């Protein structure tokens, strides 16, 4: 039987959504993101387990655990997007399809943000659509499951 659960992971500094650089990230909070993601998944008959961490190892351990009870992963890796081979390795090791989400348009920002260690292995990428990008990612990922 296939799992009807998605893992929602948010990386470093995403706990500050709503107050961190609102001109870039908007005023929606992490709680708003989790609610939006949960609602989008529920509309397709899925549940969501959500975690935010500022610690790379916690994110990796959570990805490893997801192989036991999740059908896919929605991840906003934050700054780890541009630096973490270990996060990429964890995502490819568990062999779950995943969606990479970024609230801001990383391609309209500093040059170092244009590179992602995940873009060539992500099943779905949603960049620059604000927090609504999470719901888009859920819909696109579920369509592939």
The whole-number pLDDT of residue 63 equals: 98
107 catalytically annotated: no
Q: Are strands 47-52 and 72-76 parallel, antiparallel or unpaired?
A: unpaired
Q: What is the pLDDT of residues 125-144, one digit of tens each?
A: 999 999 999 999 999 999 99
Domain limits, the chain: 5-121+129-144
The residues, any chain, with a CB within 8 Å of residue 118's CB and separated by 6 or more, are: 75, 77, 81, 87, 88, 91, 98, 100
pLDDT, position 1: 45
Q: Spot the catalytic one: 46, 55, 64, 102.
A: 102
* Whole-model pTM over 0.85: yes
CA dist list (Å): 118 to 4, 5, 86, 92: 24, 22, 11, 9
Q: State how far the Cα of 107 lies from the Cα of 31, in Å rounded to an integer.
A: 26
- Residue 89, annotated as binding a ligand: yes
5-121+129-144 CATH choice from 1.20.140.10, 3.20.20.70, 3.40.50.10490, 3.40.50.9100: 3.40.50.9100
pLDDT, position 82: 96
Let me know if 19 is exposed, middle or buried by CB neighbors in 10 A (0-12, 13-18, 19+): exposed
Tell me whether residue 25 is one of the annotated catalytic residues. yes
| C-beta neighbour count of 55 within 10 angstroms | 10
pLDDT digits (tens, 9 = 90+) for 18-32: 999 898 899 999 999
- The more confidently predicted of residues 113 and 87 is 87
User: Is the per-residue pLDDT at 2 higher than 70?
Assistant: no
Whether residue 113 is annotated as binding a ligand: the answer is yes
The CA distance from 46 to 56, in Å, is: 26
Is 109 known to sit in a ligand binding site? Answer: no
Q: Is the pLDDT of residue 121 over 70?
A: yes
- Structure confidence by residue, pLDDT tens digits, 77-107: 999 999 999 999 999 999 999 999 999 999 9
For all residues of the chain together, what is the average pLDDT? 96
């Amino acid at each position: 039987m296939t799992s009807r659960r998605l893992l929602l992971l948010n990386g470093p500094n995403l706990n500050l959504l709503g107050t961190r650089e609102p001109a870039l990230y908007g005023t929606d909070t992490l709680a708003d993101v989790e609610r939006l993601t949960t609602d989008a998944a529920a509309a397709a008959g899925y549940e969501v387990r959500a975690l935010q961490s500022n610690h790379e190892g916690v994110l990796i351990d959570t990805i490893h655990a997801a192989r036991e009870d999740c059908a896919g992963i929605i991840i906003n890796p934050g700054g780890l997007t541009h630096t973490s081979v270990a996060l990429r390795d964890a995502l490819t090791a568990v062999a779950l399809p995943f969606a990479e989400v970024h609230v801001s348009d990383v391609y309209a920002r500093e040059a170092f943000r244009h590179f992602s260690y995940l873009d060539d292995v992500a099943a779905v990428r949603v960049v620059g659509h604000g927090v609504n990008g999470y719901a888009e990612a859920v819909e696109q990922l579920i369509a592939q499951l």
